[in-house]
Homo-oligomer: A and B are copies of this chain.
């Protein structure tokens, strides 16, 4: 079985490459804002985006033994989605809003063959301890988390020193729920 991964995230590429499947990459041009503007519960947004991204690809061209994998991660604080910070001030404000409390990371995954697909969402609770402004500024200026929803990477310094506990799959917070994706691929029949 071959996997065609539609993601530019180096973290997703690295995680998926460790599962041992033959792997190729594809860019899908899809304007996420067309979906994000519609009304839907925050816990289904990631799944819907993963589905739409896959649906924008012509899967009729896939080989018999190839599936397309798309994913989208949403960092949800209460009912508000935190996107990628546009600048330093936004990154700092996001991390301040995550300090001393829990939020939820949803990753929606779509595994799509020629005609059928599996679609699921994995949720992980992440608990930050109180972060000082000094820690937040040091992290933002050193790691520049502008490509990360919620303005942090759990595998980076701020995740190591700031996250007290998680409930769920660690890799889901990195952007790909590896355990459930592997299960979905293992039970996939084309």
- A-side residues, CB < 8 A to B, are 15, 18-20, 124, 129, 154, 157, 160-171, 178-180, 182-183
Identify A180's interface contact among B19, B164, B166, B168, CB under 8 A: B164
Give the shortest distance, in Å, between A66 (CB) and chain B (any CB): 20
Q: A165-B168, A166-B166, A166-B170 are in contact. Are A15 and B179 (CB under 8 A)?
A: no
Q: Are B180 and A160 in contact (CB under 8 A)?
A: no
Is the pair A167, B165 in contact by a Cβ cutoff of 8 Å? yes
Residues on B with C-beta less than 8 A from A129 are 179, 183
Copies of this chain present: 2
**Complex Cα distance A168/B157, Å?**
17
Query: How far apart are the CA atoms of A79 and B183 in the complex, in Å?
Result: 30
Among A20, A157, A161, A171: residue with most chain B CB under 10 A: A161
Q: Which residues of B contact A157 (CB under 8 A)?
A: 18-20
- B168 close to A166 (CB less than 8 A): yes
A-B pairs with beta carbons under 8 Å apart, 24 shown? A18-B157, A18-B160, A19-B160, A20-B157, A124-B165, A129-B179, A129-B183, A154-B170, A160-B178, A160-B182, A161-B178, A161-B179, A161-B182, A162-B179, A163-B169, A164-B179, A164-B180, A165-B167, A165-B168, A165-B169, A166-B166, A166-B167, A166-B170, A170-B170
Residues of B with C-beta under 8 A to A167: 165-167
State the Cβ distance, A161 to closest chain B Cβ, in Å: 4
